[in-house]
Chain A
Amino acid sequence: MIADPIVEFSLFSFRYESRKEATLEDISLTIKSGEKILIAGPSGSGKTTIGNCLNGLIPHSFKGVGSGRLKVAGFEPASTDLHELSKSVGTVLQDTDGQFVGLSVGEDIAFALENDARPRDEMHTAVSRAASLVEMGEYLNRSPFALSGGQKQRVSLAGILIDDVDLLLFDEPLANLDPATGKLAIELIDQLHRETGKTIIIIEHRLEDVLHRPIDRIILIDRGKVIADESPDSMLTDGTLATHGIREPLYLSALRLAGGSLRVEDHPASLDSLDLDRHRDNLVSWFDSRPMVAERPHQPKLLTVKGISYSYDGELTTLDKVGFSIESGERISLLGENGAGKSTLAKIIMGLIKPDEGNLSWSGNVITGENISERSRKIGFVMQNPNHMISQHLIRDEVAFGPRLRGVCEADVTERVESTLRTCGLYPFRNWPISALSYGQKKRVTIAAILIMEPQLLIMDEPTAGQDYFHYTEFMEFITKLNRESGLTILLVTHDLHLALEYTERSLVLSHGYLIADDSVPKIFADSELLTRASLKPTSLYGLARKLNIEAVDEFIAHFISSEGAVRSG
């Protein structure tokens, strides 16, 4: 079948007005009508800029200098009215809250039609049709505050489908979703693609999750250039992805660790399509050669949480009799879907809210009554969004903020700031304004601003949010080093299973306010029933072990973690 091209970039370059260097350089690529494409690349690679060129935000909302040629759905975006272009290109943005402008589901779906001044009856018919396409037909009167992130995303999608666009553009659709919801989103996109035949472009760096359903081509972008433009099978056979900061699927990492090499005929794009025959013996002997792992010696208990319950409104229970303890020097992940109570528990540990029941103790002393300021001397808390933490203009001042508030004398402050900035690799930037930093660098600054207060326990809330594999690996390796060298205890609050697998030894799993598991990471990741119950999803290592008929899935996962960790830290 020869389809018409719907997107054509030829030698296209673009530079934002505020930047010195071009964000896109000599991009040439063609996307045919009806294709399903993944645009992958690390943060700052220019992949979002490509999206903004397609939907016309560049040059209509973001000003800059462009050259070369771009045609989208028969239009040249630069000389086309944005409104007209939006009838052909529909965009689902990453921020599920920011794009939900209506006060009810129905109203938000109707937004584009309202702006077209269509009559009311026509809107109501069209809205119920679009809502049922994304299975939100029963929620038309719901307010956005009563919806989950996944549901808000579906509403946004319906709001675009209502215009019968030709091209659907998804900008990091997985960024704000927990694993189970993300999987459903990918399935829904695939179903739409099959049923409507519309062209689909997904911009995302979580490769394995997108490949849960077939993709026609992957376009790899880095530093503003097209690095590769191939089928998933051929893209996954060489190591191109990893060198450009994209995490390859875990089952392929395992295959490589076992010494195997991939060919296109192996169909590596998904675990289901992967032909294991050539690799089976390799993997099994790799697994059989695993060394005996010594149990981690027990350390004194640092934090003990006993029978904590909490309710925001006195009716719905957010946490129900949660109890566990953390040993000094441990690396722990607190897992659970959005709304499971993870953040609430973290806030209780920090002393930001008081539990209704239960108590906390620190090295054996009860600290339930201690206020935030006393707790913050022991426990550091790095929030998900660095922009919520940064309050100073210069990096130096931001890092010095905590000690200054504590009344540390200025000479000591300077010394501590400099040594902290050195450990965090930020020393060369110390006199920079924070506004000049990228999101990832800002994150680093907030970590430095907490580490300077020398906490014994560091809690990080969703550290990978808005971070690609390359950038989070960088700062997580650094945190791991602190853990190894100075015994910093780490608690990661997350729904990112890759992160938990790579950087923690033990997991606590919360579901609907109950602590449903507290065990070693390999044991938890080998329990697919448990993960499903918590709206997380088993990783592909589980599936691989099953395909290999390996019974001791937990040991398979453990062997993978230790082998991979050894490779990663060089």
Chain B
Amino acid sequence: MDKSKITFGLSYIETGSPLHRLSGFTKLVLFLWWITLILTTFDLRVLTGFFIVGIVLLSLAQIPFKVYRPFVFFMVYIVTLNTLFIYLFAPLQGPEFIGSHTELFIFTKRYVVTLETLVYLAVIAVKFLAIFPMALLFVFSTHPTEFAASLNKIKVPYPIAYAVSLTLRYLPEITKDFVNILHAQQARGVDISRNVSLRKRIRNIASILFPLILSSLEKADVITNAMTLRGFGKGHSRTWYNARPMAIGDWVVLAAMAVWTVPHFIIRASIDGLFWYPF
């Protein structure tokens, strides 16, 4: 049928890299571990380390840069804005947390820049930036059903896990229906552009949503019947065709995580207060 002009930029891309060959379970655990460790540390050295490792892993996944370039720009934009506003709202948060005050220069009486402020803001920014490559990596290298399978493996009930993969399966179909309905209504004179008043526009949008909801419910019925006829929801557990069995690589990655966890928390405990501050 028609190739829709709408595509989803954030989805699985097969490149056959070593990271793609890891089991979804390993990647899910890695992702959760990654976030947990980053959120529990305020050590700029450790965070920078995570950031660099994240970038290296992402490049190992062989995803072409142009695929995620827009997300990089978006992320940089968000982080910059976030950091700027933290400073604008609470310019002295850094010195307060770290407990010392080393003035570098002064804009106004309120907006003073201290070394502590810079370290504090850098920690916040790098925290975000370090999570980012791993999130991209996870999304691009984990097939949605493998993701569902691994959710199930960490004890999420399988009907919920399967819903994730069903959503991805039928989202494009519903988009196609939406475009069809939109076209049908436009051809009868329904205008949802700025040419009409807001009130009318809302009413006109309703005339598109109504059939969309009805046709989606109809579709849901068909899908439910098709799934019931093939035994879905019968047993207490199910297996997954796309689940990758654990291989040596998986055990290596899991072991590496375990190995790093110990020094990570030792470093964390060895610092007085939250922040690592050498000056």
Assembly CA distance A373 to B1 (angstroms): 26
Extra pairs beyond A93-B225, A101-B166, A112-B230 (6, CB < 8 Å): A55-B229, A61-B225, A98-B223, A104-B242, A115-B233, A312-B3
- Beyond A101-B166, A388-B181, A389-B211, is A107–B242 a contact (Cβ under 8 Å)? yes
CB contacts (< 8 Å) of B215 on chain A: these are: 385, 387-388
User: Digit string of A43-81 for contact with B (CB within 8 Å is 1, else 0)?
Assistant: 000000000000111001100000000000000000000
- Beyond A115-B235, A383-B184, is A99–B3 a contact (Cβ under 8 Å)? no
9 shortest interchain CB distances as A-B pairs: A98-B222, A99-B226, A110-B241, A115-B231, A391-B207, A405-B189, A83-B234, A112-B230, A312-B3
Check A101 against B227 for contact (C-beta < 8 Å): yes
Assembly CA distance A100 to B170 (angstroms): 10
Check A352 against B229 for contact (C-beta < 8 Å): no
Q: Which residues of chain B from 45 to 95 have any CB-CB distance to chain A below 8 Å in the complex?
A: none
Is B108 in contact with chain A by the CB < 8 A criterion? Answer: no
CB contacts (< 8 Å) of B243 on chain A: these are: 120
Check B229 against A114 for contact (C-beta < 8 Å): no
Q: How many residues belonging to A are interface residues under a CB distance threshold of 8 Å?
A: 71
Is B232 in contact with chain A by the CB < 8 A criterion? Answer: yes
The CB with the most chain B CB atoms within 10 A, among A100, A101, A313, is that of A101
- Beyond A312-B4, A383-B184, is A114–B241 a contact (Cβ under 8 Å)? yes
Q: Which DSSP category, helix, strand, loop or mixed, fits chain B's interface?
A: helix
User: Digit string of A382-417 for contact with B (CB within 8 Å is 1, else 0)?
Assistant: 010101111110000000011001100000000000
Check B188 against A453 for contact (C-beta < 8 Å): yes
- Beyond A57-B225, A159-B230, is A387–B211 a contact (Cβ under 8 Å)? yes
A449, chain B: closest CB distance, angstroms? 7
Is B177 in contact with chain A by the CB < 8 A criterion? Answer: yes
Assembly CA distance A480 to B211 (angstroms): 29
Which residue on chain A has the smallest CB distance to residue B224? A61
Which residue on chain A has the smallest CB distance to residue B235? A117
CB contacts (< 8 Å) of B5 on chain A: these are: 312-313
CB contacts (< 8 Å) of A375 on chain B: these are: 187
Q: Which of B183, B224, B234, B241 contacts A123 (CB 8 A)?
A: B241
Assembly CA distance A372 to B5 (angstroms): 19
- Beyond A86-B230, A117-B235, is A93–B222 a contact (Cβ under 8 Å)? yes
B270, chain A: closest CB distance, angstroms? 45
Which residue on chain B has the smallest CB distance to residue A87? B231
Check B4 against A95 for contact (C-beta < 8 Å): no
Check A97 against B168 for contact (C-beta < 8 Å): no
Binds B, one of A131-139, A242-250, A337-345, A487-495: A337-345
Check A93 against B226 for contact (C-beta < 8 Å): yes
B209, chain A: closest CB distance, angstroms? 9
Q: Which of A101, A116, A312, A350 contacts B187 (CB 8 A)?
A: A350
* Subset of 18 A-B contacts with CB under 8 Å: A61-B224, A102-B145, A102-B169, A102-B241, A103-B143, A103-B144, A115-B234, A115-B238, A120-B240, A312-B5, A338-B1, A343-B1, A372-B187, A388-B181, A388-B211, A389-B181, A405-B188, A405-B189
Check A116 against B231 for contact (C-beta < 8 Å): yes
Is B208 in contact with chain A by the CB < 8 A criterion? Answer: yes
Which residue on chain B has the smallest CB distance to residue A435? B214
Is B218 in contact with chain A by the CB < 8 A criterion? Answer: yes
Check B238 against A114 for contact (C-beta < 8 Å): yes
Which residue on chain B has the smallest CB distance to residue A118? B239
CB contacts (< 8 Å) of A339 on chain B: these are: 1
CB contacts (< 8 Å) of A402 on chain B: these are: 188-189
Q: Which of A101, A107, A145, A159 contacts B172 (CB 8 A)?
A: A145
Assembly CA distance A111 to B239 (angstroms): 9
CB contacts (< 8 Å) of A406 on chain B: these are: 189
Check A316 against B3 for contact (C-beta < 8 Å): yes
Check A373 against B191 for contact (C-beta < 8 Å): yes
Q: Which of A117, A145, A313, A387 contacts B218 (CB 8 A)?
A: A387
Check A99 against B222 for contact (C-beta < 8 Å): yes
Which residue on chain A has the smallest CB distance to residue B243? A120
A274, chain B: closest CB distance, angstroms? 37
A98, chain B: closest CB distance, angstroms? 4
Assembly CA distance A114 to B148 (angstroms): 13
Is B219 in contact with chain A by the CB < 8 A criterion? Answer: yes
CB contacts (< 8 Å) of A117 on chain B: these are: 235, 237-239
Assembly CA distance A359 to B245 (angstroms): 57
B272, chain A: closest CB distance, angstroms? 51
Which residue on chain A has the smallest CB distance to residue B12? A103
CB contacts (< 8 Å) of A145 on chain B: these are: 172
Q: Which of B168, B222, B229, B241 contacts A107 (CB 8 A)?
A: B241
Is B261 in contact with chain A by the CB < 8 A criterion? Answer: no
Is B26 in contact with chain A by the CB < 8 A criterion? Answer: no
CB contacts (< 8 Å) of A380 on chain B: these are: 187
B222, chain A: closest CB distance, angstroms? 4
CB contacts (< 8 Å) of A355 on chain B: these are: none
A351, chain B: closest CB distance, angstroms? 8
A135, chain B: closest CB distance, angstroms? 20
B230, chain A: closest CB distance, angstroms? 4
Q: Which of B180, B187, B234 contacts A376 (CB 8 A)?
A: B187
A334, chain B: closest CB distance, angstroms? 16
